[in-house]
């Protein structure tokens, strides 16, 4: 089972690789049959290829700079949650989004699912990226 340390590391690598524009590196944190739902309620993308394309696209479109804004909450299940802030440039505007991501994990510490919680009320225009 994934350890607390593995789950925390996964979040740290997720934000650092995403901010570095390394979509393939982000996708490498996921299991082959993982799925993502970002934001919650949108169509799920399943499988490594769909996940690679999702992150490459997000990076190309919006150049997100993402940071953890509080501790990763680990649990007794292979499941953890963390608050994040994304600063991006999208549609000609700098935007700040406050997000909470939930990850589930396999026994090797790879992410098996990701669900992103945010809505219109969590998005704000920003003066700078």
- Can residue 114 be called a binding residue for a second copy (CB under 8 A)? no
Q: Of 52-91, which residues contact a second copy (CB under 8 A)? A: 69-77, 79-83
Q: Say whether 117 is catalytic.
A: no
Q: Say whether 14 is catalytic.
A: yes
Strand spans (E) along 3-92? 30-37, 45-46, 65-68, 73-74, 79-90
Structure tokens at 20: 């570095």
Count of chain residues binding a second copy (CB under 8 A) = 30
d(C-alpha 27, C-alpha 55), whole Å: 7
Residue 20 or residue 77: which is nearer to a second copy going by CB? Answer: 77
For 28, phi and psi rounded to 5 degrees? -65, -15
Residue 102 or residue 126: which is nearer to a second copy going by CB? Answer: 102
Nearest to 51 by CA among 88, 108, 103, 7: 103
Instruction: List active site positions.
Output: 14, 38
The contact set with a second copy (CB under 8 A) reads 4, 8, 39-42, 69-77, 79-83, 98-100, 102, 117-122
């Amino acid at each position: 089972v994934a350890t607390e340390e593995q789950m925390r590391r996964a979040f740290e690598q997720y934000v650092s690789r995403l901010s570095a524009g390394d979509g393939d590196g982000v996708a490498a944190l996921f299991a082959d049959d993982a799925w993502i739902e970002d934001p919650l309620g949108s169509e799920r993308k399943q499988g490594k290829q769909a996940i690679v394309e999702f992150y490459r696209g997000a990076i190309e479109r919006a150049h997100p700079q993402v940071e953890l804004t509080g501790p990763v909450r680990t649990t007794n299940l292979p499941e953890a949650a963390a608050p994040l802030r994304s600063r991006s440039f999208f549609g000609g505007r700098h935007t700040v989004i406050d997000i909470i991501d939930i990850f589930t994990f396999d026994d090797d510490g790879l992410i098996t699912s990701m669900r992103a919680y945010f809505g219109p009320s969590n998005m704000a225009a920003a003066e700078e990226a």
